[in-house]
Amino acid sequence: MKSTPTTIATLMIASAALLGGCASTSSDPYNTGTSGAYGTPSSAAMGYGTIDSIQVTRGQASTSGTGAVVGGLVGALVGNQVGSGSGRTAATVAGAVGGAALGNKVEGDRAASGSDMYQINIRMDNGEYRSVMQDSVYDLRVGNRVRIVDGRAYRY
């Protein structure tokens, strides 16, 4: 198989589309959507309640897929500079795969730094319980009255 600029461009576009399909579309990566006493999803619009408990949890390092796509493109470009003929094609593919893996790892490492999260369990005025995940609690303490707006708890 002869490597042409069209073939390489097609490979890069296909790689980007494939890796882009793996990207998370959720705007709130910590909203698990579970059910139970504290399982109401944090995407509820608004409500008032009292903080029942606050727990520190280790957040999950989530990636958007951008690092993998950029790494794959750079790896493919570098791999394309090596060899000729089918060796060049193999180097291009290997460079794209290796670059994508490295780019995803770098993005994940950056997302993991400072990823302590706070699970705030709130007893709502109507008697139900909600759990909200936030990156900080500022001046929130157990027993404070709060309102929930767009999945975040604010002192009321």
Write the pLDDT tens digit of every residue in 111-148. 666 567 889 999 999 999 999 988 888 889 999 999 99
pTM (2 d.p.): 0.42
Give the structural domain span for 25.
Answer: 1-30+62-114
Single out the residue in 83, 98, 114 at which a domain terminates.
114
At 137, list the tokens: 């609690």
Does residue 68 sit in the same domain as residue 6?
A: yes
Contacts with 129 (C-beta within 8 Å, 6 or more apart), sequence order: 37, 38, 40, 52, 121, 122, 123
Q: What pLDDT score does 40 carry?
A: 46
- Distance, CA of 127 to CA of 92 (rounded, Å): 59
* Residues of the chain with confidence (pLDDT) below 50: 25-44
Q: What pLDDT score does 70 carry?
A: 84
Q: What pLDDT score does 51 carry?
A: 93
Q: What pLDDT score does 99 carry?
A: 83
Q: What pLDDT score does 145 carry?
A: 95
Structural domain total, the chain: 2
CB atoms within 10 A of CB 2: 9
Q: What pLDDT score does 31 carry?
A: 43
**What is the helix (H) or strand (E) element at residue 69, kind and residue range?**
helix 66-79
Does residue 110 sit in the same domain as residue 152?
A: no
